[in-house]
Structure 1
Amino acid sequence: MKEFMTGNHAIAHAVKLCRTPLIAAYPITPQTPIYEKLSEWEASGQLKGIMMRTESEHSAMASCIAASLTGVRTFTASSSQGIALMHEMLHFASGCRVPVVMANVNRLLAAPWGFWADQLDSLSQRDTGWIQFYCENGQEALDSVIQAYRIAEQVYLPAMVSIEAFFVSHFMEVVDLPEQEQVDRFLPPMDLPHKFDMDKPGFLVPVVPSELYRKYKHMAQVSMDSVKGLALQVDQEFRNEFGRGYGIVEPLMVEDAEVVVVTAGSITGTARVAIKELRERGYRIGLLKVRLFRPFPGEAIREALRGRKRIAVIDRNFSLGGGGIFCQELRAALVHSPDRPLVFSYIAGIGGTDVRPEMIERVCLDVMERTEPMDTPIWIMEEGS
């Protein structure tokens, strides 16, 4: 069934379709409509479960961890300062091996204060042990939440699904809602083997000696590494059931490309328009969309970029003193590639500034002129700014 809705409401529908019995959250712009829609359904009896209205994002994540350890599916959502506040508990969630799913609506981190799109809030949590997906639109966000539960509950690691503030969260578009029976076939009930057992009381997260801690983290790494293959398998099964899929990366017209633009999130849609226009003008430009960020799909990226000579990575984020984060990861993934293409880092859309097709066209033409590598990122501004 197709409906006209925002990206935030698409995520709320996904949570409802996944029959999530425990939702804990604290409202923060621009995530609030997810929470409001779920609360509305709870009040009307359409949502079967418990809505926990916590006093902070830190408490929301702590509540999800505790509830997940009883063996129930859990969900939360946040943005920006809320993600920063729950940082401690993000580590705890992955360390407890609980499959919590969180929607993050990417918003800039203060200061200065603002509400606009910027991916740094989630990317700054890249070392916390969470699976991370970045979505282009509301349909992909809905589908990714459903897939995230399936993946997280198989590897016992939490998963984060990110959409950008306002460009996706508040933008209204047609979304194809799956039937409940379809989702039930695709997503079985959660079965957590290490849950609380009232008949066999004990510690689930005790203090451990150094050697056991090392083994524990190695086991988590093995599980995280398995996500790349599992995500492809789950996506294919999703495609078979629902008629659409996304992969972990999506190459578009890269086979003969002189320049490949690499994007993640909503900028991908703009890049599609720009590349089509450049192709019509005779320029051989390709696109590589990165959907899965953690674990980073280095092998899939190397395969997609095989034989390409120039890569332009457009980041709506940056690590102060380092540059665009997706570009950093991509360069590391390509370091052992026999082709070793030139990789250029472009920063665009920071703080929710607009990224128009002509700006991406300028990036592509700029890269075609460059013959030497650059360590520093290039900031893309509007004409005259």
Structure 2
Amino acid sequence: MSKIKKSEMDKEQTIIMSGNYASAWGAKCSRVKVISAYPITPQTTVVEKLADFVDGGELDARYIKVESEHSVMASLVGSSMTGARSFTATSGQGLLYMTEMLHWVSSSRLPIVTTIASRGIAPPWNIWAEYTDILSIRDCGWIIQFASTHQEIFDSVLMSYKIAENQGVMLPYFIVYGGFTQSHTSKPVRIPPQKEIDSFLPPPPEKGWSHLNLDPDNPITFGNLLMPQQEYLDFRFLIHDSMVKSKKIIQKTIKEFKKSFKRDYSGLTENYKCNDADVVLITYGALAEQSKIAVDELRKKGKKVGLFKLRYIRPFPNEELLKLFNSDVKVIGIADQGTAFGNPTGGPISTEVMSLLRQSNRKIKVLPYVWGLGGRDVTVDEQIHVFHQLMQLKNKNEYPTDDTFQHGTVWMGLKTGA
């Protein structure tokens, strides 16, 4: 273990840093005890910065260098089973490579935190911002949160351990942000005094997790075979039950964070000028922040438009969406920055939102979008154009007629129609 230097900050500082460094600082300030690392673009500088912290004596943690992403998560299974606060980061193909172990982590109820600098999936090779990597494994039992700003990346790491390690949750946690657009750009990030962070986020129990603890003096068998008539289904239900119930813990933690650090993250979703809107765009990630500019521009012209940002997709914010559906909204656009080939819309989240819409008694028109794949730019003007399409649907019941409208979804920037 590295010796801690007497350099921990005793007052808040604002540091200009990349999104990846914000992730690494979040892990450092959370006092993680085990980091397992394998480099992959655009995540690499997260684990590089953590290596600097450990090597420089600023972080008392075991840094494990392994040969693959599968081994990254396998090694963290072992560390977390001992009760150690564990962390890693990955992207794209690396996330897919560790998929087997992701299920092992959630089924073991281990509160491991992983940050994802999301990128496109190969082939063809693509390393720029897109969320198909995380969306393709959204049902493996991990809490999934999108961070839209550099400050939110840092803050979310602190909150993630407090949520994941809660006795009523005990589930692993993904914090997701865009490759390069967030991972490699730099913005000011406020770092609170370490003693205030320690007060907000105490260390995990010294004796390990209450449901599982690897102890050489008290060996146990874990993950053994269950017959069909035994409790396999019950274990799976309990994961789902804890995921759903984690919503209350998430809300409680956000309130505690606001009280401690005076920053408010609203909840599982963010309602931006939706209260009187008749046209609303639903989306997630950094492009949701940019969509606020489009909303503001149209509001200046008297257009009743709003943005509904999904901060979490697991657990899915059913209650918040149903409240939106039961407002005055007439038309909803749902923009995915990822794909789900062959499903009803081609976009994973738009299909889930439309499924939930069936629980509402209101007849709301819906137009799904797929945008920003492979890191393709989506400008403010293009987002304003999206709102104009939605207003056209509201006013004239007219769907887009150009070649980007395929199979009931607008594929923004499509160069070759079907």
Give the TM-score, by structure 1 length: 0.97
2:411 counterpart residue number:
379
Alpha-carbon contact 1:235-1:245 (below 8 Å) kept: yes
Q: Give the alignment partner of residue 336 of structure 1, picking from 353, 359, 379.
A: 359
Provide Cα deviations, 1:277-312, integer angstroms capped at 9, x if missing partner: 011112111011100110111111111342211111
Q: Give the alignment partner of residue 317 of structure 1, picking from 335, 338, 343.
A: 338
Provide Cα deviations, 1:122-146, integer angstroms capped at 9, x if missing partner: 0101111110001111111111111
1:170 counterpart residue number:
184
Alpha-carbon contact 1:342-1:372 (below 8 Å) kept: no
Alpha-carbon contact 1:24-1:61 (below 8 Å) kept: yes
- The reply to whether residue 3 of structure 1 matches residue 26 of structure 2 is no
1:213 counterpart residue number:
232
- The reply to whether residue 284 of structure 1 matches residue 316 of structure 2 is no
Provide Cα deviations, 1:158-211, integer angstroms capped at 9, x if missing partner: 000001001111111111112211111111211311111233211122212223
- After superposition, residues 135-284 of structure 1 pair within 5 angstroms as 135-154=147-166, 155-191=169-205, 192-193=209-210, 194-210=212-228, 211-246=230-265, 247-284=267-304
CA distance in 2, matches of 1:338, 1:150: 37
2:5 counterpart residue number:
none
Alpha-carbon contact 1:108-1:351 (below 8 Å) kept: yes
Q: Which amino acid aligns with 1:357?
A: V
- The reply to whether residue 73 of structure 1 matches residue 73 of structure 2 is no
Q: Helix, strand or coil: the match of 1:118? A: coil
Against the structure 1 CA distance between its residues 98 and 208, is the aligned structure 2 distance closer, same or farther, given a 3 Å change threshold? same
Alpha-carbon contact 1:196-1:204 (below 8 Å) kept: no
* 1:340 CA drift (Å): 3.7
* 1:358 CA drift (Å): 0.6
2:4 counterpart residue number:
none
Alpha-carbon contact 1:359-1:382 (below 8 Å) kept: no
Alpha-carbon contact 1:106-1:163 (below 8 Å) kept: yes
Provide Cα deviations, 1:199-258, integer angstroms capped at 9, x if missing partner: 321112221222311111111111111111211111111111111121110001111112
Q: Name the Cα RMSD after superposition.
A: 1.7
CA distance in 2, matches of 1:112, 1:165: 17
Identity of aligned residues (%): 36
CA distance in 1, matches of 2:290, 2:414: 15
CA distance in 2, matches of 1:158, 1:133: 11
CA distance in 2, matches of 1:324, 1:212: 34
Q: Helix, strand or coil: the match of 1:202? A: coil
CA distance in 1, matches of 2:415, 2:240: 45
- The reply to whether residue 28 of structure 1 matches residue 49 of structure 2 is no
Against the structure 1 CA distance between its residues 245 and 383, is the aligned structure 2 distance closer, same or farther, given a 3 Å change threshold? farther
1:61 counterpart residue number:
73
Alpha-carbon contact 1:270-1:357 (below 8 Å) kept: yes
Note the residue ranges of structure 2 that are not aligned, 5 or more in a row: 1-12, 400-404
1:347 counterpart residue number:
370
Q: Which amino acid aligns with 2:333?
A: A
Q: Which amino acid aligns with 2:77?
A: I
CA distance in 2, matches of 1:101, 1:343: 35
* 1:384 CA drift (Å): 12
Larger radius of gyration: 2
